[in-house]
Amino acid sequence: MDQELRKHVTKTGTTTVGIVCKDGIVIAADKRATYGGDGGVSYIAGKNQDKILEVNSDIIVTTAGVASDTRKLIKIVRAELKLKELKARTRSTIKQAANLFSSIAYQNIRQPSMIPAITHFLLGGKDIEGVYLYDINPDGFLIQSTDFVATGSGMVHCNPILDSDYKKGLTLEEGTALAKKCIMASMGRDPASGEGIDIYTVTKDKIEQVSKQKIELTLKDQ
């Protein structure tokens, strides 16, 4: 990609976390968007970026990568799932939705382009079989997580905390506190993560936003 063009590609930078609890899934993300070059963050493009988006009433995804590509892929999946629902008169399973995300990501990153379609999603969803957490990598690799996963530039600050603090059987309240701890640690060290925290929970009954917090970090806080 041309170096001047690269400077103006909007990226979600980012820190996103997914945690499997005994009674559901916790999904969390920061709220900073950046313009990035080869050296990393060159400019903070936005301070109120929603990085957890609804696909339908049963599915949410976090976004990391090139912002325009993540939004476009989500719109395509929304449309495809709705079309399938209308044709088959049945709701897609979470596994089917995750595979659709994976297939499109696989195809997109292999298309010759001046700007590679870099998209990384965490998918949390519910269907009649249960609740699920999937990690959909930029190259299309798909894996179901049974414990926790972190993505984005801030993941290096989250994984040590998750490795030490996560245990099987966490409640949603404990998982929410752990996710917040991870995002806070990342915002203190990762220049592409910041401004606030959004946290959602996914249970067999509903998807709910449980925290939307604006955070101003100072040098003293870090």
Q: List pLDDT tens digits, range 94-114.
A: 999 999 999 999 999 888 877
- Closest C-alpha among 51, 45, 49 to residue 74: 51
Q: Is residue 205 part of a domain?
A: no
Q: Is residue 21 part of a domain?
A: yes
pLDDT value of residue 193: 84
Does 14 qualify as catalytic in the annotation?
yes
pLDDT value of residue 218: 46
CATH of the domain at 145: 3.60.20.10
Q: Is residue 93 part of a domain?
A: yes
10, 12, 14, 203: the active-site residue: 14
Q: Which amino acid is at 137?
A: N
Q: Is residue 10 part of a domain?
A: yes
| pLDDT of 7 strictly over 80 | no
Query: What digits encode the pLDDT tens for the residues 135-190?
Result: 999 999 999 999 999 998 889 999 999 999 999 999 999 999 999 999 999 988 88
Q: Is residue 42 part of a domain?
A: yes
Averaged confidence pLDDT in the chain: 87
Structural domain including 98 reads: 3-197
Q: Is residue 213 part of a domain?
A: no
CA distance 10 to 35: 5
Q: Is residue 9 part of a domain?
A: yes
Q: Is residue 28 part of a domain?
A: yes
Number of domain units in the chain:
1
Cα torsion through 154, 157, 161, 163, rounded to 10? 80
**pTM over 0.95, yes/no:** no
Tokens of 6: 């690269």
- Closest C-alpha among 156, 163, 179, 144 to residue 19: 179
